[in-house]
């Protein structure tokens, strides 16, 4: 096992607030070149911190690592509790990685209020990191809501579409509506904890801490109510079909940088895996919930793919493609077995490189033709062979070509789905076929054949900054596609712990696993879970 980081060093706090401090520093600068250079430096330092966490992370362990825990509002059981495990740690690296690429892309494409744009982007990075590393549900909810502020202004002020004001407001209202239901669900979890603590004369009567809530049983009828309340919050954010209507508008009207974040970082489905399923295992595996979620996932796969097939605008095509891919994640999650959960988690990470990568390609196309409408293209590969080559590679990864990252994730999802419900798996395969159809048809018409009349004669191929983005994405796509073992090892322990939680749903199982971990842990290799008496060492 790797040497573990001393938990007394607040690495996650540094990771969380460094971009926000950097955004405040940018306010002091007036020179736009200095603002861009400083923003890139801040993003690179943040990426270095994320890589440090990934390298020191103990793969295969279900334990919470790099734990930081400080009481915040003790009377209400609210704490500042940060940690990562196999479910969340890869999202930390993905968020930092994509932020660097967005800063590079925005270098010469954002010319209006550059300083404010970079500040909003770094603030968005802080709130996104907070969502992934928070273990207290109120702290998580705070970051979940704060994300809306920079997101709203990024879409409204720097979006290129005529309806960007409408798209920004629609995104915020949809997310706020779902958050209201989610907050009620969080409150009910706290009330259930209070009732249990009072009955058993526990010292702490209130808690929003994930690890402490995991130790308290929730009656099945309450689980069902809380599940659907939290479902609303996560489903609107994901977005799960049919709550997706804000997504095409936001991705089409907003800036490419915001589209990369919205399409590439799957916050809603992460919420299902982090909170809904482990806290409410009996509800999650009830036939009603499984059938409903599978149906919604399959509807998203087919609807998104068919809608993508008829879109003449590449960005709108990608929006519906994102909805279709999200359907695969949903059916994998609610297959509720090891392969399905592992495949869903890996697919969430993969989409950060493929779907987000295709939005970068859309940005490259738009900068050359001032549109992503199909009528503006045709035979582009003759003028821009490098752009066409990377477009093809990233696109093939998005449809799951063997040898790319997309294949590994989709294969595991389908394997898990067939294992749990073969009928759903059979229907899900149609999404793979439709995916190949809509991408290859658009690519053939835009890149191949004779040069279109609307294509400018003097058109440049990828320049240096675009090459950096394209090569970085290609490396990650091929790395995960050809050698996924390091990524799978990181998540395996936490995924297995989640499966055990679903199968048994009892605290006794978690404690037994903790004793087994203690018996098999090498001498001197103590867990990173910080506080004595907590379930951090043997929980999800």
pLDDT digits (tens, 9 = 90+) for 206-218: 899 999 999 999 9
Domain boundaries, the chain: 285-504
d(CA 526, CA 530): 10
| 3 φ/ψ angles, rounded to the nearest 5 degrees | -60, 135
CA atoms within 13 A of residue 375's CA, in its CB half-sphere: 0
Pairing of strands 78-84, 65-73: antiparallel
Contact 300, 330 (CB under 8 A): yes
- Report yes or no on whether pTM surpasses 0.85: yes
Those residues whose C-beta lies under 8 Å from the C-beta of residue 77, and which sit 6 or more positions away, are 190, 193, 204, 205, 206, 207, 208, 209
**Residue 452, pLDDT score:** 76
pLDDT in tens, 231-285: 999 999 989 988 988 999 999 888 999 999 999 999 999 999 999 999 999 999 9
Q: What is the mean pLDDT of residues 486-506?
A: 89
Q: Could you give the CA distance from residue 9 to residue 4 in angstroms, rounded to a whole number? A: 12
Segment 364-378, tens digit of pLDDT = 998 888 888 888 888
What is the Rg, in whole angstroms, of the alpha carbon atoms belonging to the chain?
23
- The model's pLDDT over 270-319, given as tens digits with 9 standing for 90+, comes to 999 999 999 999 999 999 999 999 999 999 999 999 999 989 889 999 99
Cis? peptide before 273, omega within 30° of 0: no
Q: In whole numbers, what is the pLDDT of the chain averaged over residues?
A: 88
Residue with tokens 């009072």: 198
Q: Which residues contact 463 (CB under 8 A, 6 or more apart)?
A: none
Query: Could you give the C-alpha distances from 517 to 58, 61, 99, in angstroms and in order?
Result: 13, 9, 36
Q: Is 504 exposed, middle or buried (0-12, 13-18, 19+ CB in 10 A)?
A: middle
**Digit-coded pLDDT (tens) for 171-183:** 999 999 999 999 9
Answer positive or negative: Cα dihedral of 178, 181, 182, 183.
Answer: positive
Q: If pLDDT is split at 50, 70 and 90, which confidence band does 515 have? A: very low
- Percentage with pLDDT > 70 across the chain: 92
Specify the residue for token string 């890869």: 90
Q: Say what the pLDDT of residue 111 is.
A: 84
Question: What's residue 449's pLDDT?
Answer: 78
Rounded mean pLDDT, 392-396? 94
Contact 355, 318 (CB under 8 A): yes
Say how far apart CA 375 and CA 194 lie, in whole Å: 61
């Amino acid at each position: 096992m790797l040497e573990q980081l001393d938990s007394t060093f607040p690495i996650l706090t540094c990771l969380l607030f460094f971009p926000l401090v950097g955004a405040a520093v940018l306010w002091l600068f007036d020179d736009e070149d200095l603002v861009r250079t400083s923003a890139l430096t801040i993003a690179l330092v943040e990426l270095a911190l994320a890589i440090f966490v990934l390298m020191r992370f103990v793969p295969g362990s279900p334990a919470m690592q790099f734990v930081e825990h400080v009481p915040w509002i003790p009377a209400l059981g609210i704490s500042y509790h940060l940690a990562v495990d196999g479910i969340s740690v890869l999202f930390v690296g993905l968020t930092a990685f994509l932020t660097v690429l967005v800063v590079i892309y925005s270098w010469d494409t954002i010319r209006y209020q550059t300083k404010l744009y970079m500040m909003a982007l770094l603030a968005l990075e802080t709130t996104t990191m907070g969502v992934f590393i928070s273990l207290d549900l109120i702290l998580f909810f705070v970051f979940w809501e704060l994300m809306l502020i920079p997101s709203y202004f990024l879409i409204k002020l720097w979006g290129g579409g005529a309806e960007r004001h409408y798209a920004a407001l629609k995104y915020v209202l949809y997310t706020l509506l779902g958050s209201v239901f989610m907050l009620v669900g969080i409150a009910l979890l706290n009330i259930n904890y209070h009732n249990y603590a009072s009955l058993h004369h526990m010292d702490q009567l209130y808690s929003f801490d994930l690890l402490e809530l995991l130790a308290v049983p929730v009656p099945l009828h309450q689980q069902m109510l809380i599940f659907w309340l939290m479902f609303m919050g996560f489903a609107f954010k994901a977005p799960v079909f049919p709550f997706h209507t804000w997504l095409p508008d936001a991705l089409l009207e907003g800036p490419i940088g915001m589209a990369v974040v919205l399409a590439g970082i799957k916050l809603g489905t992460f919420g299902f895996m982090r909170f809904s399923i482990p806290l409410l295992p009996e509800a999650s595996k009830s036939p009603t919930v499984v059938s409903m979620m599978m149906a919604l996932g399959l509807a998203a796969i087919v609807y998104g793919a068919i809608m993508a097939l008829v879109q003449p605008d590449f960005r709108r095509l990608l929006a519906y493609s994102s909805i279709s891919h999200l359907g695969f994640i949903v059916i994998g999650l609610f297959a509720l077995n090891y392969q399905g959960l592992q495949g869903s988690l890996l697919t969430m990470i993969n989409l950060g490189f493929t779907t987000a990568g295709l939005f970068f390609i859309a940005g490259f196309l738009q900068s050359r033709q001032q549109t992503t409408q199909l009528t503006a293209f045709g035979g582009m590969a003759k003028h821009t062979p490098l752009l066409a080559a990377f477009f093809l590679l990233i696109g093939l990864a998005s449809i799951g070509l063997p040898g790319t990252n997309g294949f590994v994730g989709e294969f595991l999802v389908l394997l898990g789905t067939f294992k749990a419900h073969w009928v759903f798996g059979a229907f899900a395969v149609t999404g793979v076929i439709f995916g190949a159809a809509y991408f290859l048809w658009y690519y053939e018409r835009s890149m191949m054949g004779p040069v279109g009349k609307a294509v400018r004669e003097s058109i440049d191929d990828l320049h240096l900054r675009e090459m950096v983005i394209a090569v970085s994405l290609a490396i990650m796509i091929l790395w995960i596609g050809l050698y996924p073992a390091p990524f799978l090892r990181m998540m395996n322990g936490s995924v297995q712990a989640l499966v055990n939680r679903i199968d048994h749903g009892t605290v006794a199982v978690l404690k037994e696993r903790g004793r087994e971990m203690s018996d098999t842990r090498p001498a001197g290799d103590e867990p990173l879970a910080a506080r004595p008496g907590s379930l951090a060492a043997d929980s999800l």
